[in-house]
Structure 1
Amino acid sequence: MKAAAFAYARATSVANALELLAVHGEKARVLSGGQSLIPAMNLRLVAPEVIVDIGDLAELRGIVVKGDTLVMGALTRHADLLKSSDIVKCAPLLGAAAAHVAHPAIRNRGTIGGSLAQADPASELPACMLALGATIVVHGPGGERRIAAEDFFTGIYETQLAPQDLLVAIELPVARTGSAHFFQEFARRHGDYAIVGLAAQAMLQGDRFADLRLGYFAVGDKPVLAKAASKLAGATITPALLAEASDALSHELDPHEDQQATPAMRRHLARVLLARCVASLLNRPDLNIGGRS
């Protein structure tokens, strides 16, 4: 299939992009990398009347460290996460996740801002933003808004972005001494959408978690910051406590059913990932007895 007819406008600046969105409103869609929008248009899942292309806006590219904050422009590409020394030092979870995003051709074109705005519940990066405590920076008619990642994603392909808004940057706290991360997903083939995945960020204090944030994806209509992690923070981790947290996780999640998995299977895989995550972060192989399947 081919996309329905549409008008095209190339933005020359963020201000110009906002002007175009203000004029066209819900009839317009923003084009950045195009790896999600173009297939959806070709399948007639969306049919915007106007495409606002922001791909040439250099001001929205790049990764910089400002004090204790890592700032990524919305047009920074997935491939950039794999090459940036700042990502390695300040947010290594993103590099681990980016290696699982589709394939090189898509990573070379797809953008971080596009992935977050698309809000596919099976995507890796939205869950990473929950785990890392990210702030999403948005410009709109009322000026700049800063939205916590936990509040940004609202449903399947839905976010806090209004039709006249533009996602311009993402801010992350720089990883501190004692921090650790875990990323793993189950997929039928590398590069496929995940059946279940987990992005985790932890602060270790000896053999305990001073803090643990578990960002699950492909387990519902949006990424989930699991409340079950609170059972593990500050406590001596035993198999019994891990089992208690695992049970709480099962009750917390509300997975969907599709051609890949049933809700019961997704709950099981989420529990497996929890066991693997805790065992890996604490270097406790004994805790992964139930997570080897």
Structure 2
Amino acid sequence: MILVARMVLRRVLLLVPLLLGIILFVFLVMRFSDMDPASAYFQGANPTQEQLHQFREENGLLDPLPVRYADFVGELVRGDMGISVLTRAPVVDQVTTALPLTMQLAFLGLGFAVVLSLLLGVTAAVYRDRLPDQLIRVVSLTGVAAPAFWLALLLIQYAAVDHGWFPTGGYINPNDSFSGWLETMTLPALALSLPVAAQLTRIVRTAVVEELDRDYVRTAVGSGLPPVVVVGRNVLRNALINPLTVLGLRVGYLLGGAVVIETIFALPGMGKLMIDAVRNGDPAVVQGVVLTTAVGFVVVNLVIDILYLLINPRLRSAT
């Protein structure tokens, strides 16, 4: 346990330079973008050049880049992401309001992807080179090639418009009605998760096939253990190491893809906040959304690394 705690601590410490690099990258991209906080602040008011210059000077927009970066990092450490130049509200408040919905969508989609990939991947491996395996291969290839927004439109047309099983959009808070929340989130989560499930299915199938060909599986089956027990207790645990690593990378896709999916289904999450900020030229909000998404991706991958370490004893012993 001491060794595991050391390795976890080491990975946590490595996050510090990584997060500083992410902050620097986002800072530079936003500073060299076409978005002008001064123009957005006076939007529709026809300000003079003197007013624009005064706004930039009062808000430190004319300071050298190193000074502005240091101030920016200091504000982030204090939990301050700036003020929206349009709503005059703190960006932190807007992000904390929109983030829970995006997290709900991303993790519900992650749950769908994990369940579907395990069912299809294990089934394809057990029935390899037979009809179920061939059908699952075709379905997984189709899912990998299909973009999430196209799947979203198909799901809306089939499940919402043609049959009325789910609403076409909108959001119901789970505290108000859990069944209503599930109805409004099912189609967006499915559209977001199907491409990820298709990719994971192929990886799970390959990993399970490799494990099924190992000697210990033949020994266990030959000794009289039911194949279901062997697959569930031994094969699946050993085979999930590689898919778990890939799953960490796919979480970034789920968080990023939520931007498009939320727009299609009219969900008031980080995606809608980002689109509205880009449309209205509000750089502080765009910056806050991008930073929050990037940090979330890094933290989730840290959790995946820790889980990978815990379920892989060979990695612990090698380290």
Could you tell me the TM-score, scaled by structure 1's length? 0.24
Which one has the largest radius of gyration?
A: 2
Question: Which structure shows the higher strand fraction?
Answer: 1
Q: TM-score, normalised by structure 2?
A: 0.22
